[in-house]
Amino acid sequence: MKISLQLIGAAVAVAGCAWIFASGSRKKEAPARKQTTRPESPPTVESSSKIIYHGNVGSRVFHTPACKYYHCKTCSESFIRREDAVAAGYKPCTLCLP
């Protein structure tokens, strides 16, 4: 009994257990992912001053705006200068090195 590989591949793909291959091609087509974007957090101090650093109140680490942890849920403390964050007992992030 000869089983067609096309039928097996189609059955596996329909079941959601395999990548979908284009006919006669080895190129994989990945499923589309929904892209989510984070809204910018509003400034928490006067609008005349610019917030540069966010401090994580749990870990006592502060981050620059370029850091991936800048908008974390527990980064609720804001500092205008690096010296202010250090004076408040926060440590610089080892990833973004503020």
> Among 24-28, 45-49, 69-73, 75-79, whose mean pLDDT is lowest?
45-49
Task: Report how far residue 54's alpha carbon sits from residue 56's, in angstroms, rounded to the nearest whole number.
Answer: 7
Task: Tell me, yes or no, whether 38 lies in a domain.
Answer: no
Mean pLDDT for the chain? 75
Task: Tell me, yes or no, whether 6 lies in a domain.
Answer: yes
Task: Tell me, yes or no, whether 83 lies in a domain.
Answer: yes
Per-residue model confidence as pLDDT tens digits over 18-61: 555 555 555 556 666 666 555 555 444 444 457 699 999 999 99
Domain that includes residue 26, residue range: 1-31
DSSP H helices, 1-98, are 5-14, 82-87
Task: Tell me, yes or no, whether 48 lies in a domain.
Answer: no
Task: Tell me, yes or no, whether 84 lies in a domain.
Answer: yes
Q: Structural domain tally of the chain?
A: 2
Beta partners for residue 53, in sequence order: 79
Higher-pLDDT residue of 27 and 85 is 85
Task: Tell me, yes or no, whether 9 lies in a domain.
Answer: yes
* DSSP secondary structure letter of residue 7: H
> Among 51-55, 74-78, 89-93, whose mean pLDDT is lowest?
51-55
